[in-house]
Amino acid sequence: MELADLIQRLTAVSIHGPLDREITAVRYDSRRVAPGNLFVAVRGACFDGHSFIEQAVDKGASAVVGEQPGLSQRATTIVVPDSREALARLAATFYGDPSRKLKVIGVTGTNGKSTTTFLIKHLLERANQATGLIGTVQYEVGQRVLPAQRTTPESLDLQELLSQCVEAGCRNVVIEVSSHALSQGRAKEIAFDVGAFTNLTQDHLDFHQGMKSYFEAKAHLFESLRDNPKKEKVAVINIDDPYGQQLVARFGRDLPTITYGMGARAEFRASNFKVEMNGSSYQLDTKEKSYLVRLPLIGRFNIYNSLAALAAAHAIGVDTRTSVSALAKAPQIPGRLEAVPARRQFQVFVDYAHTDDALLNVVKTCRDLRPSRLILVFGCGGNRDTAKRPLMGAVADQYADYAIITSDNPRKEDPEAIVRDIEAGFKHKNYEKIVDRKKAISRAIALAQPKDIVLIAGKGHEKYQEFSDHTIPFDDVEVAARALEEHPVELSRHGS
């Protein structure tokens, strides 16, 4: 694509150099630059792309976009007010605005995004609509499953994935839209057809500096939905959540809205629910009809997730009866209350819960299953919101019969210090501390007796553990399975 055509949507402060250059690719990582590329200098949390401009030009970049004058004397330079915004516009233009060729469903919220997106994809595909998926667990493009680098990719990568979905014959794409991505403009230039909101509870306050800022980041999705050029747009909002109510008040007049929940105001309403070891069931009431819903996922929070999925599928045009039937065959979402095959008289679950609200939801769900004891293994990530650590400790203190505080992804923090922060939330002595996560999981399984539940929380689907200077392979499901093999059945009959 010629540079002059590529930059038409940019708000340029100044342009120096010829525009009749053929651009072979757009890059924001100087290590990936090749001859004929356009390099965009983006400021990140750790690195400033402006520092790598000359390296990019050395590798053949024929044009550079950045925020400061004098970018380079050896390439065409375009100075813009905001490099991230420019990157989003360049990416959409370069890949031919793929989101306008797809039905795009964006899901945002603190908890439930991954499960909701998996369920939406499942419902749409059961309705014979090929659907891509971009989220925390993995990216799915046609028949290809790719490892996820982050919940919502950088705008350039996101547009490339959407373009690949178009090429793969997808009709729809479901995207987890994180608050970081919304704040950083990664989802700009995406024409959403449906925006879904699950809930908002404390998380990421190290980044957002307060719940108001966190909420405003989530609201960006609905601003984008309202302002995009597509004619048929729908907001799907959890009306039981106080922040969901704020979204309805703010956008309800400008956007067709479907509300869901368990209260009388919800348009997709669940009642008479039952939670059992092999799944959940409830009565779904809509404006038109009532349905009996059977869901092979456990927990009240998964009922909310399924309501969001049903409402989103309805917004895309899928018949609700078809969706209800499809829900009965919904897949297990990796790391979301995932059962570890135990062949014992106790149950072992792995869950991604890494906020106090998510942990509260999952331990309450385990309590609903009426175990003899609930043994909880959990920790908190390093270099993240520290305020939630004692809150998670308080949840464990109140709802677990016994807790083992351990490491999550300590990153650049001292694991022992993180454990002490969590410990501050405990009032009782119903816990122990084992910083080594593998040993903590093994200890929990050794303690388990018949009819107990062992819940391993925090990392869920993750296949690694991050430390200050290295990352190691680590899968809670695999580690738990090995611990079950190593502990003879006789040991499981002895408690502490």
pLDDT, tens digit (0-9, with 9 covering 90-100), for 63-79: 999 999 888 999 999 99
User: Which segments of the chain belong to CATH 3.40.1190.10?
Assistant: 98-327
Higher pLDDT, 206 or 133: 133
Percentage, residues of the chain above pLDDT 90: 86
Q: pLDDT at residue 42 above 90?
A: yes
Contact 363, 398 (CB under 8 A): no
User: How far is Cα 374 from Cα 364, in angstroms, rounded to an integer?
Assistant: 10
List the one residue out of 354, 405, 351, 39 whose CA is nearest residue 204: 354
In CATH, the architecture of 338-493 is Alpha-Beta Complex (3.90)
Higher pLDDT, 223 or 47: 223
Say which residue the tokens 């502490």 belong to: 496
Following DSSP, what letter does each residue of 418-475 receive, concatenated? Answer: HHHHHHTT--SS-EEE--SHHHHHHHHHHH--TT-EEEEES-TT--EEE-SS-EEE--
pLDDT at 8 over 90: yes
Separation of alpha carbons 400 and 395, rounded Å: 8
Report helix, strand or coil for 372. Answer: coil
Dihedral, CA of residue 333, residue 336, residue 341 and residue 344, to nearest 10? -150
Has residue 13 got a pLDDT over 60? yes
**Which of 73, 75, 150 is closest to 114 using CA atoms?**
150
Q: Which residues touch 234 (CB under 8 Å, ≥6 apart)?
A: 193, 194, 195, 255, 256, 257, 258, 315
DSSP 166: H
Domain 3-94 coded CATH 3.40.1390.10 = yes
35 or 342: which leads in pLDDT: 35
Task: Pull the structure tokens for residue 394.
Answer: 């308080």
Reported as a single tens digit per residue, the pLDDT across 110-140 is: 999 999 999 999 999 999 999 999 999 999 9
The yes-or-no verdict on residue 204 having pLDDT over 70 is no
Angle at 179 between CA 390 and CA 104, to 5 degrees: 140
Identify whether the C-beta of residue 380 lies closer than 8 Å to the C-beta of residue 354: yes
H helices of 101-229, where?
A: 113-126, 155-167, 179-183, 205-208, 211-227
The answer to whether the beta carbons of residues 271 and 282 sit under 8 Å apart is yes
* Cβ atoms within 10 Å, residue 370: 9
Nearest partner of 214 among 225, 227, 201, judged by Cα: 201
Instruction: Specify the DSSP class assigned to residue 79.
Output: E
* pLDDT over threshold 70, residue 428: yes
Residue 88 has pLDDT above 70, yes or no: yes
Its pTM surpasses 0.85 = yes
Among all chains, which residue has been given the structure tokens 């999550």? 408
User: DSSP label at 235?
Assistant: E
With cut-offs at 50, 70 and 90, classify the pLDDT of residue 495: very low
Contacts of residue 82, defined as CB under 8 A and 6 or more positions apart, other chains included, come to 67, 185
What tokens appear for 488 in the block? 């003879």
Q: What is the predicted pLDDT for the residue at 424?
A: 97
Fold exhibited by the domain 98-327: UDP-N-acetylmuramoyl-L-alanine:D-glutamate ligase (3.40.1190)
Using the predicted structure, report yes or no on whether residue 45 has a pLDDT greater than 80. Answer: no
* Pair type for strands 431-433 and 138-141: unpaired
Residue 294 belongs to what H/E stretch? strand 290-295
pLDDT higher than threshold 60 for residue 446? yes
Please name the residues in contact with 212: beta carbons below 8 A apart, sequence gap of 6 or more: none
Q: What are phi and psi of 466, to 5 degrees?
A: -95, 130
d(CA 258, CA 238): 9
Domain with CATH 3.40.1390.10 in the chain: 3-94
Q: Give CA angle at 193 (299, 201), nearest 5°.
A: 40
- Arithmetic mean of pLDDT over the chain: 94
Contacts of 468 (CB under 8 A, 6+ apart): 410, 411, 412, 413
- Residue 55 has φ and ψ, to the nearest 5°, of -65, -40
Write down the pLDDT at residue 491.
Answer: 42
First vs last C-alpha separation in the chain: 68
How far does CA 294 lie from the centroid of its chain? 25
Q: Is residue 374 a contact partner of residue 363, using CB atoms and an 8 Å limit?
A: yes
Report the distance separating Cα 222 and Cα 37, nearest Å: 34
pLDDT in tens, 269-307: 999 999 998 999 999 999 989 999 999 999 999 999 999
Banded model confidence at residue 209, pLDDT cuts 50, 70, 90: low
